Amino acid sequence: MSMNLQPVSTDPEALLAGLDPEQRVVAESLGGPVCVLAGAGTGKTRAITHRIAYGVATGTFAANRVLALTFTTRAAAELRSRLRVLGAHGVSARTFHSAALSQLNYFWPHTVGGAFPTLISGKGKLLGQLAEARRLRLDTAALRDLAAEIEWRKVSGLSIEQYAASDRPGIGSISLEQVATLQQGYEDLKDERKQLDFEDVLLTCVGMIHSEASVAMQVREQFRHFVVDEYQDVSPLQQQLLDAWLGPRNDLCVVGDASQTIYTFAGARSSYLLDFERNYHDATIVRLERNYRSTAPIIKDANALMRGRAGALELRAADTASSTEGPGRPAATPAPITARFRDDLAEARGVVSRIIELHESGTDLADIAILFRVNVQSSVFEQALNEAGLAFRMHGGTRFFDRPEIRQALMELRGASVSIVGEPLFKSVSDVLRAHGWTVDPPEQPGALRERWEALNTLMDLVDRAAPGTTLRVFTDELLERQAAGAEPTQQAVTLATMHSAKGLEWETVFLVGLSEGLVPISYATTETMVDEERRLMYVGITRARSRLMLSWAEGAPRGSGSRVPSRFLTEMGHPTR
């Protein structure tokens, strides 16, 4: 979410002016069904937001009759932000769960009556109580796996009886039959306490629409036009809810990329995207394959990895992707580099050494990411970054606005904004932040104090980027809007992230690390289907990079447990492994 975004003209033709030919086809295809097959970096969000805005500007859509659906609150906030800038005020952009919960809260008093059930924030506590009552010793990891099994069963549309008859493997020493019994106990206990979990929200909404004709009529009257982003991630339960919302209509636009299906373990099915044309015979199909993010050598690697796979698009570099210079982007287009290291620590130090070179030559740390397969791999890179005195942030860790120093600073800035008028913004904000430990110069040593300073300094960076004349009141209101939307500001630090959590993000420079067999693909990927998912995950990692990509692996396994071999995916892309 950008501070000080300027609205564009809402003249219909002006909305189409900046789109490429394929994006323009998307925007002008206002009658459903429409399927947009959009490769990484091809401007899919731009295309669908301009489609919605164009539909509103031409009078084809009533803004309050459009429901744009996605999978995370961050993505929904991004959609809302872009639509506001395009003049499409009143469009509802939400997650499936948010939309369903809103409808349940509205209709429950009229259809069921009584108090709405309480929502449980997580399954772990309830499952722990259940296991203890049955004298089962389940550690935190086992409880987490049990919760994941419950979620998978419910989003896959299976009853407990169907689950018990499936080929799921059980959890550790707990058999499939015992897991099914625990799931039944969980559902019984939840019903007894009048509670709903995350998946129940969708199930209950589907049930209410199917069983109450008046609810179905009102919901379908309220929303006439549906847009679904990241459609390759839809689960059977989400598709069931979408079908219930649509009813007999087909005014639906979906956008997705089968090559970025990386959540099948959680119930996602790309088949809904791949079979869209078969299910909707009159569908408009548009392919977005011009990649505006990455340079040609990076795109070449991505295509080589996915070529011949179901639904794979053939990306091509847009003219601007390989020739335009910008902050942190080299004048030339360097090819991806493959590096082999002696062991994990040598790999981490080698990567950090390269980061230091880039930083000293002008690349911002915020434009650099280190991506790995599993969280445990981060520790050695944290050690190497600390040794070098470089700031870093773990994506998916404590959110920026949840940090105690930021929460306190925001509260004090809000109070100060009521009484301070006419003072320079820098002075107003810095006076508040100095009380929390901010100084012009950062602490020299890494650690908690440096992390605290980096967080506070991010607020000062926003001051530097604010428009001239911005008042403390306006600045604080924009911060509070960011906080509510979950739109975190960019911190001047190297990002550490798993490839899963990096989906939807991008950086100038990406280091894909730990690319050895057993990590990528992961050791438990024992079937062709599972290896294909690992391949798609690496594709996601590769396509996060705009201009530089380094692929690395370490030969030595931890604690002298043998040697590793490079990932088969490096060979598939034609990279040297020795």
DSSP state string for 34-78: EEEEE-TTS-HHHHHHHHHHHHHHTTSS-GGGEEEEESSHHHHHH
Quick one: pLDDT at residue 484?
A: 73
Quick one: pLDDT at residue 322?
A: 45
Q: Which residues pair with 341 in a beta bridge?
A: 554
- Cβ neighbours of 482 (radius 10 Å): 21
Q: Which residues of 164-203 are buried (b: 16+ CB within 10 A; e: fewer)?
A: beeeeeebeebebeebbebbebbeeebeeeeebbbbbbbb
CA distance 428 to 419: 11
- Cβ neighbours of 90 (radius 10 Å): 12
CA distance 184 to 207: 20
Strands 66-70 and 92-95: parallel
CA distance 519 to 244: 41
Residues with Cβ within 8 Å of 375's Cβ and at least 6 positions away in sequence, in order, are 498
The CA-based diameter of the chain, rounded to the nearest angstrom, is 71
Question: Structure pTM?
Answer: 0.82
> How far is Cα of residue 406 from the mean position of the Cα atoms in its chain?
23
C-alpha dihedral (467, 469, 471, 475), degrees to nearest 10 = 0
Strands 368-372 and 507-512: parallel
3-state SS class at 288: strand
The tokens for 272 are: 């809904």
Q: With contact defined as beta carbons under 8 Å apart, do 295 and 333 qualify? A: yes
Q: Where are the alpha helices (DSSP H) in 337-398?
A: 344-360, 378-388
3-state SS class at 171: strand
Quick one: pLDDT at residue 1?
A: 38
The tokens for 284 are: 């408009």
Q: Which residue has the tokens 């019994």?
A: 181
Residues with Cβ within 8 Å of 277's Cβ and at least 6 positions away in sequence, in order, are 35, 283, 285
CA distance 488 to 509: 20
Tell me which residues of the chain have a pLDDT lower than 70.
Answer: 1-10, 319-332, 397-399, 444-451, 485-490, 557-562, 578
Q: What are phi and psi of 388, to 5 degrees?
A: -85, -5
Q: Which residues pair with 553 in a beta bridge?
A: 340
Q: With contact defined as beta carbons under 8 Å apart, do 476 and 413 qualify? A: yes
Residues with Cβ within 8 Å of 432's Cβ and at least 6 positions away in sequence, in order, are 409, 412, 413, 416
Q: With contact defined as beta carbons under 8 Å apart, do 262 and 540 qualify? A: yes
CA distance 212 to 506: 44
Concatenating the DSSP letter of every residue in 92-112 gives: EEEEHHHHHHHHHHHHHHHHT
3-state SS class at 351: helix
Q: With contact defined as beta carbons under 8 Å apart, do 183 and 163 qualify? A: yes
